[in-house]
Amino acid sequence: MQAMPDRRDTGWMRELERRYRAKAARVSLLVGILQAVLLAAFLVLWEAAVRYGWLDELLFSHPTKIARTLADLAASGTLLPHVMTTVIETTAGFVLGTLGGTLLAALLWWFPVAARVLDPYLVVLNSLPKVALGPIFIVGFGPGYLAIIMTAVAVTIIITTLTIYGRFREIDANYLKVVRLFGGTRWQVFRLAVLPASLPTIVSALKVNVGLSWVGVIVGEFLTAKRGLGYLIIYGFQVFNFTLVLSSLIVIGVVAALMYGLVSLVEARMSPGYRVR
Protein backbone atom coordinates (compact mmCIF):
# COMPACT_ATOMS: atom_id res chain seq x y z
CA MET A 1 0.00 0.00 0.00
CA GLN A 2 1.37 3.40 -1.01
CA ALA A 3 2.24 5.63 1.93
CA MET A 4 0.48 8.95 2.31
CA PRO A 5 2.76 11.98 1.76
CA ASP A 6 4.03 13.55 4.95
CA ARG A 7 2.64 17.01 5.60
CA ARG A 8 6.16 18.13 6.44
CA ASP A 9 7.22 17.18 2.89
CA THR A 10 4.79 19.67 1.36
CA GLY A 11 4.89 22.31 4.07
CA TRP A 12 8.02 23.97 2.70
CA MET A 13 6.39 24.19 -0.72
CA ARG A 14 3.38 25.97 0.74
CA GLU A 15 5.73 28.32 2.59
CA LEU A 16 7.58 29.12 -0.65
CA GLU A 17 4.28 29.80 -2.40
CA ARG A 18 3.15 32.05 0.44
CA ARG A 19 6.39 34.03 0.28
CA TYR A 20 6.15 34.30 -3.49
CA ARG A 21 2.57 35.59 -3.32
CA ALA A 22 3.48 38.05 -0.57
CA LYS A 23 6.41 39.35 -2.60
CA ALA A 24 4.24 39.66 -5.72
CA ALA A 25 1.63 41.59 -3.72
CA ARG A 26 4.30 43.97 -2.37
CA VAL A 27 5.67 44.57 -5.86
CA SER A 28 2.15 45.24 -7.23
CA LEU A 29 1.49 47.68 -4.37
CA LEU A 30 4.80 49.45 -4.99
CA VAL A 31 4.06 49.75 -8.72
CA GLY A 32 0.61 51.20 -7.97
CA ILE A 33 2.04 53.73 -5.53
CA LEU A 34 4.75 54.82 -7.97
CA GLN A 35 2.20 55.20 -10.75
CA ALA A 36 -0.01 57.36 -8.52
CA VAL A 37 2.96 59.49 -7.41
CA LEU A 38 4.10 59.95 -11.01
CA LEU A 39 0.61 61.03 -12.09
CA ALA A 40 0.25 63.41 -9.15
CA ALA A 41 3.66 64.93 -9.83
CA PHE A 42 2.80 65.45 -13.48
CA LEU A 43 -0.48 67.17 -12.62
CA VAL A 44 1.14 69.41 -10.01
CA LEU A 45 3.95 70.36 -12.40
CA TRP A 46 1.43 71.04 -15.18
CA GLU A 47 -0.69 73.23 -12.90
CA ALA A 48 2.34 75.13 -11.64
CA ALA A 49 3.79 75.62 -15.13
CA VAL A 50 0.60 77.31 -16.31
CA ARG A 51 0.03 79.30 -13.12
CA TYR A 52 3.55 80.76 -13.20
CA GLY A 53 3.41 81.50 -16.92
CA TRP A 54 5.87 78.85 -18.08
CA LEU A 55 3.20 77.48 -20.43
CA ASP A 56 0.53 79.32 -22.39
CA GLU A 57 -2.83 78.81 -20.66
CA LEU A 58 -4.73 79.20 -23.96
CA LEU A 59 -2.93 76.25 -25.53
CA PHE A 60 -2.21 73.99 -22.56
CA SER A 61 -4.97 74.93 -20.07
CA HIS A 62 -4.42 73.39 -16.60
CA PRO A 63 -5.82 70.45 -14.58
CA THR A 64 -8.20 72.45 -12.38
CA LYS A 65 -9.73 74.21 -15.39
CA ILE A 66 -10.10 70.88 -17.20
CA ALA A 67 -11.73 69.37 -14.11
CA ARG A 68 -14.24 72.25 -13.98
CA THR A 69 -14.99 71.82 -17.69
CA LEU A 70 -15.62 68.10 -17.28
CA ALA A 71 -17.79 68.75 -14.22
CA ASP A 72 -19.87 71.32 -16.12
CA LEU A 73 -20.29 68.99 -19.10
CA ALA A 74 -21.32 66.13 -16.85
CA ALA A 75 -23.74 68.30 -14.84
CA SER A 76 -25.40 69.61 -18.00
CA GLY A 77 -25.82 66.08 -19.37
CA THR A 78 -23.69 66.89 -22.42
CA LEU A 79 -20.74 64.62 -21.72
CA LEU A 80 -22.40 61.22 -21.30
CA PRO A 81 -24.06 61.01 -24.77
CA HIS A 82 -20.76 61.83 -26.46
CA VAL A 83 -18.87 59.28 -24.35
CA MET A 84 -21.44 56.53 -24.92
CA THR A 85 -21.52 57.17 -28.67
CA THR A 86 -17.75 56.83 -28.98
CA VAL A 87 -17.60 53.81 -26.65
CA ILE A 88 -20.28 51.97 -28.62
CA GLU A 89 -18.54 52.71 -31.92
CA THR A 90 -15.16 51.68 -30.52
CA THR A 91 -16.51 48.47 -29.03
CA ALA A 92 -18.20 47.55 -32.31
CA GLY A 93 -15.04 48.25 -34.31
CA PHE A 94 -12.92 46.38 -31.76
CA VAL A 95 -15.12 43.27 -31.76
CA LEU A 96 -15.64 43.17 -35.53
CA GLY A 97 -11.97 43.81 -36.28
CA THR A 98 -10.73 41.19 -33.84
CA LEU A 99 -13.25 38.51 -34.83
CA GLY A 100 -12.82 39.26 -38.53
CA GLY A 101 -9.03 39.15 -38.28
CA THR A 102 -9.08 35.88 -36.32
CA LEU A 103 -11.48 34.32 -38.84
CA LEU A 104 -9.34 35.43 -41.78
CA ALA A 105 -6.24 34.02 -40.05
CA ALA A 106 -8.02 30.69 -39.56
CA LEU A 107 -9.04 30.60 -43.22
CA LEU A 108 -5.48 31.33 -44.32
CA TRP A 109 -4.22 28.48 -42.15
CA TRP A 110 -6.90 26.17 -43.50
CA PHE A 111 -6.08 26.98 -47.14
CA PRO A 112 -2.27 27.33 -47.35
CA VAL A 113 -2.26 27.86 -51.12
CA ALA A 114 -4.63 30.80 -50.76
CA ALA A 115 -2.40 32.13 -47.96
CA ARG A 116 0.62 32.11 -50.26
CA VAL A 117 -1.36 33.88 -52.97
CA LEU A 118 -2.76 36.56 -50.65
CA ASP A 119 0.36 37.12 -48.52
CA PRO A 120 1.87 40.00 -50.57
CA TYR A 121 -1.51 41.71 -50.85
CA LEU A 122 -2.01 41.56 -47.09
CA VAL A 123 1.45 43.03 -46.55
CA VAL A 124 0.63 45.90 -48.92
CA LEU A 125 -2.74 46.50 -47.27
CA ASN A 126 -1.10 46.56 -43.87
CA SER A 127 1.35 49.23 -45.05
CA LEU A 128 -1.43 51.51 -46.28
CA PRO A 129 -2.62 54.32 -43.99
CA LYS A 130 -6.05 52.86 -43.29
CA VAL A 131 -7.38 56.10 -41.83
CA ALA A 132 -6.99 57.62 -45.30
CA LEU A 133 -9.78 55.27 -46.41
CA GLY A 134 -12.22 57.21 -44.22
CA PRO A 135 -13.62 59.35 -47.08
CA ILE A 136 -14.22 56.19 -49.12
CA PHE A 137 -16.16 54.65 -46.24
CA ILE A 138 -18.21 57.84 -45.90
CA VAL A 139 -19.19 57.64 -49.57
CA GLY A 140 -19.80 53.89 -49.45
CA PHE A 141 -21.62 53.58 -46.13
CA GLY A 142 -22.99 57.08 -45.68
CA PRO A 143 -21.97 59.82 -43.24
CA GLY A 144 -22.96 58.03 -40.06
CA TYR A 145 -22.05 55.45 -37.47
CA LEU A 146 -21.38 52.67 -39.98
CA ALA A 147 -18.64 54.62 -41.75
CA ILE A 148 -16.96 55.34 -38.40
CA ILE A 149 -17.13 51.70 -37.31
CA MET A 150 -15.75 50.53 -40.64
CA THR A 151 -12.81 52.91 -40.24
CA ALA A 152 -12.01 51.24 -36.90
CA VAL A 153 -12.38 47.79 -38.48
CA ALA A 154 -10.02 48.75 -41.32
CA VAL A 155 -7.39 49.85 -38.81
CA THR A 156 -7.55 46.60 -36.78
CA ILE A 157 -8.45 43.72 -39.07
CA ILE A 158 -5.32 43.41 -41.23
CA ILE A 159 -2.79 43.60 -38.42
CA THR A 160 -4.88 41.11 -36.44
CA THR A 161 -4.93 38.72 -39.38
CA LEU A 162 -1.17 38.89 -39.92
CA THR A 163 -0.32 38.57 -36.23
CA ILE A 164 -2.56 35.60 -35.49
CA TYR A 165 -1.83 33.81 -38.77
CA GLY A 166 1.88 34.19 -38.06
CA ARG A 167 1.33 32.46 -34.73
CA PHE A 168 -0.71 29.69 -36.36
CA ARG A 169 2.22 28.95 -38.67
CA GLU A 170 4.68 28.81 -35.77
CA ILE A 171 2.90 26.04 -33.88
CA ASP A 172 5.26 23.12 -33.18
CA ALA A 173 4.71 20.53 -35.92
CA ASN A 174 5.03 17.75 -33.34
CA TYR A 175 1.79 18.87 -31.69
CA LEU A 176 -0.01 18.61 -35.00
CA LYS A 177 1.48 15.18 -35.70
CA VAL A 178 0.28 13.83 -32.36
CA VAL A 179 -3.32 14.78 -33.13
CA ARG A 180 -3.05 13.34 -36.66
CA LEU A 181 -1.55 10.07 -35.35
CA PHE A 182 -4.66 9.56 -33.23
CA GLY A 183 -6.83 10.02 -36.31
CA GLY A 184 -7.66 13.68 -35.81
CA THR A 185 -9.26 15.59 -38.65
CA ARG A 186 -8.00 18.97 -39.83
CA TRP A 187 -10.71 20.65 -37.75
CA GLN A 188 -9.61 18.69 -34.67
CA VAL A 189 -5.97 19.64 -35.30
CA PHE A 190 -7.00 23.29 -35.39
CA ARG A 191 -9.31 23.07 -32.37
CA LEU A 192 -7.11 20.91 -30.14
CA ALA A 193 -3.60 22.04 -31.07
CA VAL A 194 -3.44 25.24 -33.09
CA LEU A 195 -6.06 27.38 -31.37
CA PRO A 196 -5.14 26.61 -27.73
CA ALA A 197 -1.45 27.24 -28.41
CA SER A 198 -2.32 30.58 -30.01
CA LEU A 199 -4.50 31.96 -27.21
CA PRO A 200 -1.74 34.19 -25.73
CA THR A 201 -1.17 35.77 -29.15
CA ILE A 202 -4.91 36.28 -29.65
CA VAL A 203 -5.17 37.96 -26.26
CA SER A 204 -2.18 40.16 -27.10
CA ALA A 205 -3.95 41.14 -30.31
CA LEU A 206 -6.96 42.14 -28.22
CA LYS A 207 -4.81 44.48 -26.15
CA VAL A 208 -3.29 46.07 -29.25
CA ASN A 209 -6.69 46.40 -30.92
CA VAL A 210 -8.07 48.42 -28.01
CA GLY A 211 -5.80 51.31 -28.92
CA LEU A 212 -6.15 50.85 -32.68
CA SER A 213 -9.95 50.85 -32.44
CA TRP A 214 -9.87 54.17 -30.61
CA VAL A 215 -7.63 55.62 -33.31
CA GLY A 216 -10.00 54.48 -36.06
CA VAL A 217 -13.13 55.75 -34.33
CA ILE A 218 -11.70 59.14 -33.41
CA VAL A 219 -10.45 59.68 -36.96
CA GLY A 220 -13.85 58.62 -38.28
CA GLU A 221 -15.55 61.08 -35.95
CA PHE A 222 -13.18 63.80 -37.14
CA LEU A 223 -14.48 63.23 -40.66
CA THR A 224 -18.19 62.65 -40.12
CA ALA A 225 -19.86 62.92 -36.75
CA LYS A 226 -22.28 65.14 -34.92
CA ARG A 227 -21.79 63.38 -31.62
CA GLY A 228 -18.84 61.73 -29.94
CA LEU A 229 -15.53 62.59 -28.31
CA GLY A 230 -13.90 63.06 -31.70
CA TYR A 231 -16.60 65.58 -32.55
CA LEU A 232 -15.89 67.44 -29.30
CA ILE A 233 -12.20 67.63 -30.19
CA ILE A 234 -12.90 69.05 -33.64
CA TYR A 235 -15.46 71.49 -32.22
CA GLY A 236 -12.96 72.63 -29.58
CA PHE A 237 -10.36 73.33 -32.26
CA GLN A 238 -12.87 75.27 -34.35
CA VAL A 239 -13.80 77.61 -31.49
CA PHE A 240 -10.25 77.72 -30.02
CA ASN A 241 -11.46 76.05 -26.83
CA PHE A 242 -8.37 73.95 -26.13
CA THR A 243 -9.60 73.15 -22.64
CA LEU A 244 -12.46 71.23 -24.26
CA VAL A 245 -9.96 69.48 -26.54
CA LEU A 246 -7.76 68.40 -23.64
CA SER A 247 -10.81 67.40 -21.59
CA SER A 248 -11.96 65.12 -24.40
CA LEU A 249 -8.49 63.62 -24.71
CA ILE A 250 -8.41 62.88 -20.99
CA VAL A 251 -11.80 61.17 -21.16
CA ILE A 252 -10.55 59.11 -24.10
CA GLY A 253 -7.49 58.09 -22.12
CA VAL A 254 -9.52 57.09 -19.06
CA VAL A 255 -12.09 55.05 -21.00
CA ALA A 256 -9.38 53.42 -23.14
CA ALA A 257 -7.52 52.46 -19.94
CA LEU A 258 -10.69 50.88 -18.57
CA MET A 259 -11.16 48.87 -21.78
CA TYR A 260 -7.51 47.80 -21.61
CA GLY A 261 -8.05 46.70 -18.02
CA LEU A 262 -11.02 44.55 -19.02
CA VAL A 263 -8.92 42.88 -21.72
CA SER A 264 -6.18 42.28 -19.14
CA LEU A 265 -8.73 40.54 -16.91
CA VAL A 266 -9.67 38.33 -19.86
CA GLU A 267 -5.99 37.57 -20.37
CA ALA A 268 -5.56 36.63 -16.71
CA ARG A 269 -8.49 34.20 -16.89
CA MET A 270 -7.67 32.64 -20.26
CA SER A 271 -3.90 32.33 -19.88
CA PRO A 272 -2.83 32.53 -16.22
CA GLY A 273 0.67 31.38 -17.15
CA TYR A 274 1.19 34.58 -19.13
CA ARG A 275 0.44 37.04 -16.37
CA VAL A 276 3.00 39.65 -15.47
CA ARG A 277 5.85 37.96 -13.67
The pLDDT value given to residue 100 = 95
Q: Please give the average per-residue pLDDT across 128-148, as a whole number.
A: 86
For the chain, the maximum distance between any two Cα atoms, rounded to a whole number of angstroms, is 85
Cα distances from 143 to residues 134, 188, 221, 222, in angstroms, run 10, 44, 10, 11
The pLDDT value given to residue 199 = 87
Chain-centroid distance of CA 216 in Å reads 12
Spell out the residues 6+ positions from residue 217 whose beta carbon is closer than 8 angstroms to its own: 86, 89, 90, 93, 148, 149, 151, 152, 228, 230
The pLDDT value given to residue 25 = 86
Single-letter amino acid, residue 147: A
Q: What is the pLDDT of residues 59-107, one digit of tens each?
A: 899 899 999 999 999 999 989 999 999 999 999 999 999 999 999 999 9
Positive or negative CA dihedral for 149, 154, 155, 160?
A: positive
Q: What is the pLDDT of residues 55-72, one digit of tens each?
A: 988 889 989 999 999 999
Q: Is the pLDDT of residue 275 over 70?
A: no
Class of domain 59-274: mainly alpha
State the burial class of residue 227 (Cβ atoms within 10 Å of its Cβ: 0-12, 13-18, 19+).
middle
Q: What is the pLDDT of residues 227-239, one digit of tens each?
A: 999 999 999 999 9
Q: Is the pLDDT of residue 142 over 60?
A: yes
pTM to 2 decimal places: 0.84
Q: What is the pLDDT of residues 20-43, one digit of tens each?
A: 888 888 898 899 899 999 999 999
Single-letter amino acid, residue 260: Y
Q: Please give the average per-residue pLDDT across 152-156, as a whole number.
A: 93
